[in-house]
Amino acid sequence: MREVTLGLVQMSCGPTRKKNLEKAIKGIEDCAGRGAQIIALPELFLAPYFCQGKDPKKFELTETIPCPTTETLGKLAEKLKVTLIVSIFEKTTDTKPHFFNSTIALGPDGKILGKYRKIHIPSQPPDLYAEDFYFESGDLGFPVFETPLAKISALICYDQWFPEAARLSAKNGAEIIFYPTAIGWDPRLSDEINKAELEAWQTIQRSHSIANNIFIAAVNRTGKEDNLDFWGTSFVSDPYGRVLAKAGNDKAENLVVKCDLDLIAYMRKEWPFLDERRIRYDHLPS
């Protein structure tokens, strides 16, 4: 049996970068101690979710890669012998720099395994998710990172609503797609709508598991920040879209989840959706 154990660090993110990093490290250590081999952090975990508005000062949060964060966490990955999925507000080293919402995979040797730059950038509603002020759409396509245990992709938050992104990642070989995320309820909406939104968020990601015969791991932040009440509910789903484990919505929680990767090959014979799709869009986004 080809098995891999995932760790999802669901956490809240306060104003102090150092404290957020310490929290993340604690979460990673807890997951690793419980057997996790690939461990993911939420989107932009080093700061409050600054996209609830357009503030030029927030560009001070950027890092060029490699950066102090990837160095610190690279050493941790090496020490714990795990793969880490880390979200970074990236500034390129170009003379006129570009800015991306990126994930970096750090391998168990402590080195950078690969990088993804978020392709789907939300702009709505402008007082909640004004990401277009900060980030360009990614220019790296949908890369797959070959960890020692599984081929993975690490897409980001809004990407999770687009079946195309999951499809291209799976077509490129991903067996597990991680979605570091920052999504929450808008307290101005009714309970009924907020319930529907959370359910829709789970349904669309579970559907990517089904359509592509793969595992999905969504890792979200929690806690209230201005107009957003981040809904946690980090989860892992299998190729049937079954939820293998799910966190609560209102507090920090580390999920450790075993995945039987043999199920992917089994499902690709039973339900060969990836092979039998008739519409192919293997070009990269322009």
Closest approach, Cβ 119 to a copy of itself, in A, equals 5
Catalytic residue status for 43: yes
Please identify, using beta-carbon distances, which residue of 25 and 243 lies nearer to a copy of itself: 243
Window contacting a copy of itself (CB under 8 A); options: 79-87, 88-96, 155-163, 220-228 = 155-163
Name the maximum alpha-carbon separation found in the chain. 52
Using the contact rule CB under 8 A, the part of the chain among 18-26, 28-36, 43-51, 159-167 near a copy of itself is: 159-167
Is residue 239 a contact partner of residue 263, using CB atoms and an 8 Å limit? yes
Please state, in angstroms and rounded to a whole number, the distance separating the CA atoms of residues 153 and 115: 9
| Alpha carbon distances (Å) from 110 to 52, 77, 151, 219 | 33, 5, 17, 22
Q: Give yes or no for residue 280 binding a copy of itself (CB under 8 A).
A: yes
In the list 30, 197, 250, 260, the residue contacting a copy of itself (rule: CB under 8 A) is 197
Site for a copy of itself in 203-222 (CB under 8 A): 203-204, 206-207, 210-211
Piece of the chain touching a copy of itself by CB under 8 A; list 28-36, 52-60, 145-153, 164-172: 164-172
Residue of 157, 225, 253, 259 marked catalytic: 157
Give min distance, CB of 14 to a copy of itself, in A: 29
Instruction: Answer yes or no: 270 catalytic.
Output: no
Give the integer Cα–Cα distance in Å for 32 and 37. Answer: 7
* Residue among 19 and 242 whose Cβ is closer to a copy of itself: 242
**Which one among 111, 200, 226, 251 touches a copy of itself, defined by CB under 8 A?**
200
Q: Can you tell me which of 168, 174, 216, 219 binds a copy of itself, judged by CB under 8 A?
A: 168
Active site residue 157: yes
# binding residues, a copy of itself (CB under 8 A): 40
Which SS3 state, helix, strand or coil, does residue 257 take? strand
| Residues whose CB falls within 8 Å of the CB of residue 58, separated by 6 or more in sequence, listed in order | 47, 50, 134
Site for a copy of itself in 118-147 (CB under 8 A): 119-120, 122-125, 137
Residue 246 contacts residue 264 (beta carbons within 8 Å): no
From the candidates 23, 91, 118, 246, which is the catalytic residue? 118
The long-range contacts involving 163-168, CB below 8 angstroms and separated by at least 24 positions, are 163/204, 163/207, 163/208, 163/211, 164/281, 165/119, 165/120, 166/208, 166/211, 166/212, 166/214, 166/216, 167/208, 167/211, 167/212, 167/277, 167/281, 168/141, 168/142, 168/281, 168/282
Residue ranges in contact with a copy of itself by CB under 8 A: 119-120, 122-125, 137, 158, 161-165, 167-168, 196-197, 199-200, 203-204, 206-207, 210-211, 240-242, 269-273, 276-281, 285
Catalytic residues: 43, 118, 157
